[in-house]
Chains A and B, each alone.
Chain A
């Protein structure tokens, strides 16, 4: 009758975690929850004791007594660590890992990415939409979204986002501004529709900046439209891949436009999104140019998506170089944070925002869940990267989401379905990585992006150490990241 009151016997061992240190302070990042705890000396001692062997309750208590802890402390340490799963006992059966579950069919939408055109005035050699690894099949489909399709999309978003006060539309291309006329109409229409329902709708767009005019900049600022500029850095790097069809580089065209944009658009942050390729790995120089010379608020970097066989891809040596420069910028980010200043390196800021919440993702991103892409023809896809790809259509804006296809996409993409992720401590944040990247590389959206694993773990560890240091020395600063959410 009294088993329930005895402490479970059996042997203790370490739970699933990643330990890290910031200054002298040890921390643990708990994988099953995404929780971060700072450890006192005793808790740290327990983990050290269990590092190489498992111990019975009696032996562990005895070891702690020997190290000078009181009996009460020893029992408390064990109880607390057991409770958070920092240590586990083989006598306690772990909670069953939840099987991949399909979200309810009425999971409310949060955002739509409208590909208002699939045409582009540039011919960037590495483009995932037009380059060698493209998956889009735009033949015979509309090149520009019609006003009717756009309005139907807005109605669709508002109808399918029950319960959400605020929703979001991202405009995308092709080159988004090649259809600015439609963009303006959509913003006006969407605002009106949202207001009628007493809700709010936010906007952002991604552009190559070649077509920015004073009129467009004024509109973007007046309507608080967030702007992300795809660009790769100073002239020699920008013009390497980001070229017109004639081969001419685009830097000279966008530079004066960018300066105007950054000077006049004050209502939202202006960010740059850099694609790193073979020969374009000079992270620090790119950052300095975009942040300090041009004045972007934030700069984010990502290695080019590719099938693994392209001459523009970054090889392992290149990646090492990129990472070491990332670390240099990360150190700078920390120095800023300790002084209470924001630093513009997006790759750190995004991760800090997620670490603050303690996210534990079922899927790498919102694609197919709260977010869908819409092609110029009105076809739905998991996100903008699958636009116009026949193999990934998830229904049509005028009918509905294809529940069966969406379920297939989400079941494949669930972190629980990715075998290699099960033993990785970084999975709460990574969840296997980009669906599109996986498809291009492995032919399956549900494949873990194994070519990135070491890089992701190293980067997550770096961000954890930054997080730990700030949590000790300037904890209030972290609150600034509470409302941050990324749509990349």
Chain B
């Protein structure tokens, strides 16, 4: 049994008057992939955005309850959000490389946090990040080309490289393959398998097959509530809850 990295307790999220999450209690294990599934608008993305406090960007969003990483309260008002996000990286649904060169896309994070003070250190970080995201071989000769000139799948791997460039402990992935074709998706999934050796990963996905392929633990959300959570194998073979059963067999959602 691996250690618990992140622990949420009675987590509630409100967008204005609307409640988006209801008393979510979910533990994420260290160096494991946790998949979150559920129909659109069920709160999966809202949940992972609580982990790196991305909900702060939205004015009307209010979060109550407890969410801890290694015993540190993430929801603490006095918490330094910048250093939290340094430890919890994120990859978005649509690849969003900056309109900068491939090199600058990766070196952006380390520079901000003062990592890689010399050019050669920075070069090393960029190379390592690109190698870890399995993009190095494809782009090593054109690091000064704009990141937006890459294909969709490459762009998404570039974004993964950007996320791991600051050496986080946790990586959040919000439907990272929904804008990609099957081949690019397969590459990303392979990459996730590799990355879980170093990082704790949470992935939101609409594809059951993907959840089965990449994750060890799966949580099923419905209408803002965590309906069921458990080992991926169990959730997909023998769920306790009727609703989970219905969803994974495609009867609704």
Pairing of A with B: no
Q: Which residues of B contact A (CB under 8 A)?
A: none
Residues on A close to B: CB < 8 A?
Answer: none
